[in-house]
Structure 1
Amino acid sequence: MKRLIGIFCALFLFGCGSASLEKHAQTTPELKLEQFFDGELKAYGMVLDRSGNLLRRFEVKLLATWEGENGEIKEWFTFDDGERSIRNWNLTRTGDSTYTGTAGDVVGVAKGTTEGSALYWQYSLEIEVDGSQYEVTLDDWMFLIDEKRLFNKTDMSKFGFKVGEIILYIEKI
């Protein structure tokens, strides 16, 4: 019985700390992916382990284009250890504030919703760690600071447990 009560309390506490997209409904400026992710952008970021220790730093060059409801974001990553990688996102605006996306290392379809200046984007990603492939879930929060700057915070989890975090700053060039 004590174990059951402990599990219930833990689930309750995790639920209390959850961020809510609705809390951002009245924030400005309003984030529309097709407006911010348009043209050339530059990003600076870092990867942290589950304890908040710095694992890697990186820079990203982005080129984004839209035709109607469909967008493409090309990303060129350069990590501080010299590793380079490329990701190409194909995005679709599916409603006034909803989007879907696919990329080569994304498992299935990413889904996102905007409210005010915030976007909540969730997807599974295949990553390589020490020669082994893993699938992790990403809970991605983006916050538009102004017309040219956006802050991105991503929690990475596996089996519901946080395994890392990505912090990213993106600006239009």
Structure 2
Amino acid sequence: MNQINKTLMTTMIAGSIALIGGCSTDIGEYKTTAGNFQLETYFNGPVVAWGMIQDYTNKVNRRFCVELEGQWQQVNNQSNGQLNEWFYFDDGEVSQRIWNLTKTQNNQYSGTANDVVGVASGQTSGFAFQWQYNLSLDIDGSSYEFFLDDWMYQLDEYRVFNRTSMRKFGVEVAEITLFFDKQQPLRSCNKEVI
């Protein structure tokens, strides 16, 4: 085996190990952590979040603020909620997503939204929540579908940290980071600064 092939083989093995090590954590690993993250408790009423989108090179290419309003009700021993999200991006874009959410059993949730393909599904365990769905995005007049693996971690009763991996064909193309805060007095998005 010549030096070029050895180098190529070493790179492929190292890349495979990195991919294996980078696989998503099992939500069950957080079962014994302190906290009991419940969407219907945290996302009930107004919440504000700030976030950024990084591309595959880790360059931040968008920043945004989100104003959220959630409402939940109990119907036939099942919690149903609606979560309205208004996104304000640094390039002036404003968009809205309305989630229709259902808590089924054993801390499992499902949801639909106008730009979500099919049904989103997720589960809480300890202080963590994993949420997975396919998102349809319009880019330059064409529609593209991405898989989102969304992880939320409740830091305390007011704050939640969120990291999302956005993938296409199994390859991460972007990472989204958000910080939610619902401590009163509630701040709002400063649309002129973003």
Q: Does TM, scored on the shorter chain, surpass 0.5? A: yes
Which residues of 2 match residues 10-159 of structure 1 at below 5 A?
13-18=18-23, 19-68=25-74, 69-159=79-169
8 Å Cα contact 1:153-1:166 kept in structure 2:
yes
Alpha-carbon distance between aligned partners in 2 of 1:78 and 1:9, rounded to the nearest angstrom? 40
Amino acid at match of 2:58: G
Cα deviation, 1:133-160, whole Å, max 9, x if unaligned, reads: 1100000000000001000100000000
RMSD of aligned Cα (Å): 2.0
**Structure 2 spans left out of the alignment, 5+ residues:** 187-194
Alpha-carbon distance between aligned partners in 2 of 1:132 and 1:83, rounded to the nearest angstrom? 17
Alpha-carbon distance between aligned partners in 1 of 2:137 and 2:175, rounded to the nearest angstrom? 13
Q: Residue 147 of structure 1: SS of its match in structure 2?
A: coil
Greater mean alpha carbon deviation, residues 19-28 or residues 85-94: 19-28
Cα deviation, 1:32-80, whole Å, max 9, x if unaligned, reads: 1001000000010011101110111000110000001100000011101
Q: Residue 51 of structure 1: SS of its match in structure 2?
A: coil
Note the C-alpha offset of 1:11.
5.0
Alpha-carbon distance between aligned partners in 1 of 2:45 and 2:130, rounded to the nearest angstrom? 22
Identity, in percent, stands at 44
Alpha-carbon distance between aligned partners in 2 of 1:16 and 1:43, rounded to the nearest angstrom? 30
- Provide TM-score, normalisation by structure 2: 0.82
Greater mean alpha carbon deviation, residues 107-116 or residues 17-26: 17-26
Alpha-carbon distance between aligned partners in 2 of 1:116 and 1:104, rounded to the nearest angstrom? 29
8 Å Cα contact 1:29-1:147 kept in structure 2:
no
Paired residue for 1:169?
179
Amino acid at match of 1:111: S
Q: Residue 95 of structure 1: SS of its match in structure 2?
A: coil
The 1:7/1:101 distance shift into structure 2, 3 A limit, reads farther
Amino acid at match of 2:107: S
Q: Residue 15 of structure 1: SS of its match in structure 2?
A: helix
Q: Residue 82 of structure 1: SS of its match in structure 2?
A: coil
